[in-house]
Structure 1
Amino acid sequence: MKVRTTVVAAGTLVLCLAAAGCGPDGGGEGAGEKATASRAPASGSGTGSGATATPGAGSPPVPTPTSHGRTLTEAELEKVALATDEVPGYAIAPLEGTGERGTEEPEDEACRPITAIINGSPEPAPAAIVFRTATDTAEEGEDDRTVVTEILTSHPGGGAGELLRAVRDAVRDCAGGFRTTSEDGPTTYTGVRALPTAGAGQESFAYQVTGSLAGAEVPLVFHLVRTGSTVVTFYAADFLTARTPEVPAALLTAQAAKLP
């Protein structure tokens, strides 16, 4: 089988990293079996509000604040989440196993916003949360299928904007890497850097966190898209190579278009 750039749902979201022990420093055997190939590149750079993110350049300019909008309920998040046939070539389904979240705690509090997302629990705590996976139907039966994970969260007041601001600051402050501890032991992330975004929604930000698996680099990529009080976090990882995985731009733009 040809090994290609991979995008993974990592078992049960990033819980595979933090709870099941198959991510950085966890050494679990399931990681390679769940690796999936990404053929569609993310597009362009910049955010929906005009701010840009340059890889390695730290935090981009903070966009001008916009209306918070109405805080969606869980039922409303379910309705605006992507569904099968809305993005050609991708099957959308609820993510299994989200009742148990990761337990990683950062040694440096400045890195907590990043760790919270790795745990599958973005901060500030949302009023409602919904999980989805998007799977490339053209790769049916392949071991390295494209599987992208989404977390949709709604935040009262200015919580959605606060989430993105906190993550931007953490990416800047934790660029040299950080360590965490959990019930499964310590984890080391060797570096953090901003990435170009697809410019979806009212505001967007992307970054890479690099961990390790059996001594090999494991790049984890996160794209955050905000519209009003809703934030969608897309997750991708590469357990087979050290190359930065890419979240298909079609998923980002299609999901952003459904947000009220």
Structure 2
Amino acid sequence: MKRSSGVRVCAVAAAGALSLALVTGCSSGSDKKTDDTKASGSASAPAAPAAKKLTKDELQKLLLAQGDIKGYKVAADKEIVSLSKSKIKVDKPDCEPVAWATSALAPGDTDSDARNSVSQVPEGVDKGDIEAAFDFDVTIVGLSSYDGDGAEKAMKAVADGVKACAGGYGVAQDGDASKVSKVVDDKVPAQGDEAIGYTQSIGMDEGTADFHTLVVRKGNTIATFYTANVGALAGGKSAAVEIPAAVVQAQLAKFK
């Protein structure tokens, strides 16, 4: 059975603010004293310290855990944890942040990231009904953190990538190649400090399927979300799935 490598990462995975306030000073006295102060530059505010990225362990603790969302199962699947950028090959460099975010990998330049999966596994399903047993949605969640303005640069890279890759791009994992026919910018609600959503149309065994990705920044940390139906992916079928708002809200609520 052939399966699109563009969504293979998610199929495999499914199987298993910092805000700083600037303090400004003011002085009282005569107009002449104020003018003298301005001239000397002594009233300038001190520079804010650069944002410091969170470590992998700190990000791991920020990921959703079992019990954080009622009705959802949280798993740290080995395939997700071990996934790396080196395993994903894209034929257009500008499209790399777009492909990385969909795979729960850091869309920017950082070595601090973590990921897991959150799924709604059906209950009371007959063990003999394989199709029903795999008919559930899984959301792959990725967190990444950056020093300085790295998070803002990563968001820009994603936004630029969505525009540059509107006409599609080629992607491969472990030699299994497929084609993203188009990338469309989604209008998403305001979330965190900055949010970007996009839909990728990817070739499947039974035509083309649309898949949504959401990227949200809070301070110098970025969260990425991608949701798919396990049964549809395994069968190479098209099944558009919305990213659960409950998962997004619960994950963002864990950021300070």
| Same fold per superposition (TM over 0.5) | yes
**C-alpha distance in 1, partners of 2:95/2:102?**
11
Match of 2:65? 83
Instruction: Give CA-to-partner distance per residue, 1:233-257, whole Å, 9 cap, x none.
Output: 1112353654531111011111111
Q: TM-score, with normalisation over the residues of structure 1?
A: 0.68
Match of 1:175? 166
**C-alpha distance in 1, partners of 2:64/2:211?**
22
Q: How does 1:194-205 map to 2 (within 5 A)?
A: 194-205=185-196
Match of 2:76? 94
- The answer to whether residue 252 in structure 2 is matched with residue 256 in structure 1 is yes
Q: TM-score, with normalisation over the residues of structure 2?
A: 0.69
Higher helix share: 2
Match of 2:29? none
**C-alpha distance in 2, partners of 1:151/1:143?**
23
Structure 1 residues 71, 140: closer, same or farther in 2, change over 3 A? Answer: farther
User: Bigger radius of gyration, 1 or 2?
Assistant: 2
Is contact 2:200–2:211 with CA below 8 Å preserved after alignment?
Answer: yes
Specify every segment of 5 or more residues in structure 2 that has no aligned partner in the other structure, as ranges: 16-48, 126-132
Aligned to 2:58, what secondary structure does the other structure show? helix
Quote how far apart the aligned CAs of 1:117 are: 3.0
Structure 1 residues 27, 146: closer, same or farther in 2, change over 3 A? Answer: closer
Match of 1:5? none
Q: Which amino acid in structure 2 is aligned with residue 93 of structure 1?
A: A
Match of 2:180? 189
The higher relative CO (CA closer than 8 Å, separation ≥ 6) is in: 1
Aligned to 2:107, what secondary structure does the other structure show? coil
Match of 1:246? 242
Instruction: Give CA-to-partner distance per residue, 1:107-149, whole Å, 9 cap, x none.
Output: 2222222233345533323231111111215546531122111
Structure 1 residues 139, 101: closer, same or farther in 2, change over 3 A? Answer: farther
Tell me how large the CA RMSD over aligned residues is. 3.1
Between stretches 68-77 and 249-258, larger displacement belongs to: 68-77
Aligned to 2:152, what secondary structure does the other structure show? helix
Quote how far apart the aligned CAs of 1:201 are: 1.4
- The answer to whether residue 108 in structure 2 is matched with residue 117 in structure 1 is no
Q: Which amino acid in structure 2 is aligned with residue 149 of structure 1?
A: I
**C-alpha distance in 1, partners of 2:99/2:7?**
15
Q: How does 1:1-260 map to 2 (within 5 A)?
A: 22-24=3-5, 69-97=51-79, 98-101=81-84, 103-118=87-102, 120-139=104-123, 141=125, 142-181=133-172, 183-237=174-228, 239=233, 242-260=238-256
Aligned to 1:78, what secondary structure does the other structure show? helix
Between stretches 74-83 and 196-205, larger displacement belongs to: 196-205
- The alignment-based identity, stated in percent, is 24
Is contact 2:3–2:205 with CA below 8 Å preserved after alignment?
Answer: no
Quote how far apart the aligned CAs of 1:232 are: 0.8
* Total equivalences in the alignment: 207
Structure 1 residues 68, 208: closer, same or farther in 2, change over 3 A? Answer: farther
